[in-house]
Amino acid sequence: MKEKALLGVDIGSVSTKGVALSAQGDLLASEYLWTEGDPIGATKRVLHALRKQLTDRTEITAVGTTGSARKLVGTMLGADAVKNEITAHAVGTLSRYPDVRTILEIGGQDSKIILIKDGVVADYAMNTLCAAGTGAFLSSQAKRLGLSVEDMGELALRSKSPSKIAARCTVFAESDLVHKIQSGHSKEDLVAGLCKAVVSNYLGNVGKGKQIGTPVVFQGGVSKNEGVIRAFEAELGESVQVDENAHLMGAIGAALLSRGKKREKPFDFQVTDLSFETKARECGGCSNHCEIISFYRDGALLDSWGGRCEKGMTERGES
């Protein structure tokens, strides 16, 4: 007898995450890797890894995608649910923490805050201007200090006097960090200061004007950094919960959102053996000159998107 499972893929600009869940929502397999500017290739690598972790008895009955490339990869996989990150992260988190009131999420290139009331999203915000409250900022500063991102959290916890790093924006923060380095601040204090700067920037921008209620759950790749966790707790004066699968919560939510959808046949992992290609062109059908993205599988058009009307949304006019 086949074991029915759900597949969820979260495709971001920095990392791609994939999970397989049992029909009850238990984690059966997972993978996290870098997107490297190739969401299709990254998705194929994720699927290869998941297939190796599953038994021959596992049958994927529904597929969900989320993240910045959710439309592209959703078309590639024939997804049953293609949902935005806010919805996916909320559903994933609520499945593990039904009483959650605030979700803090910091990824590689973006960050978001989601406020939950009575089990549904009541409000949310995402960063739109500054990268100083993201994982990419921490990663670039770790390189400047000759450290790996993985070592930053433990190093920050050793600090007795965190350096004060300007948190207004990336440019100011980097300039201030260089000045502190040249002034002789220890790496422990500098890293602790960076963690505090990320939190300060996040709360002052993404969380500005938001009523943060408890319980608070912190997720995204940066939630693995103990220094940032402690900085959040110090700033909020509250305990912050971090799930062991916090980095997978978007993919978990995408998988759960696909549950109950009607699918003609189980998902076939052999999709990884197929060739996919995208082509961009400017539509000349009207004065809008929309950029149309057409997506092909083994040379056959699967779908097109990007237009404001039906003109140019077919294969006609392709160069």
* Domain identity same for 232 and 156: yes
For the chain, what is the domain count? 3
CA distance 34 to 254: 19
Which CATH number fits the domain that encloses residue 40? 3.30.420.40
* Domain identity same for 139 and 257: no
* Domain identity same for 61 and 107: no
* DSSP secondary structure of 53-103: HS-TTEEEEEEEEESTTHHHHHHHHT-SEE--HHHHHHHHHHHH-TT--EE
Range of the domain at 158: 99-242
- What pLDDT is attached to residue 245? 94
* Domain identity same for 267 and 289: no
> pTM higher than 0.75 for the full model?
yes
* Domain identity same for 228 and 139: yes
User: 106 forms bridges with which residues in the sheet?
Assistant: 111
* The last residue of a domain, from among 199, 221, 242: 242
- What pLDDT is attached to residue 230? 94
290 DSSP assignment: P
- What pLDDT is attached to residue 128? 61
* Domain identity same for 147 and 203: yes
- What pLDDT is attached to residue 312? 60
* Domain identity same for 106 and 220: yes
Return phi, psi of residue 143, to 5°: -60, -40
Q: Using CA atoms of 209, 211, 215, 218 in order, give the dihedral in degrees to the nearest 10.
A: -10
pLDDT along the chain (319 residues), means of 10: 93 92 96 93 97 95 95 95 96 97 87 95 82 70 81 88 77 77 87 89 89 94 89 95 94 96 89 90 82 87 81 49
- What pLDDT is attached to residue 18? 98
For 286, the 3-state DSSP assignment is coil
The radius of gyration of the chain's CA atoms, rounded to the nearest angstrom, is 21
CA distance 8 to 273: 19
Amino acid, single-letter form, for residue 49: A
- What pLDDT is attached to residue 243? 95
* The last residue of a domain, from among 242, 260, 288: 242
* Domain identity same for 39 and 62: yes
**CA atoms in the 13 A half-sphere facing the CB of 174:** 15
Cβ 206 vs Cβ 127: under 8 Å: yes
- What pLDDT is attached to residue 85? 93
* Domain identity same for 15 and 51: yes
- What pLDDT is attached to residue 52? 97
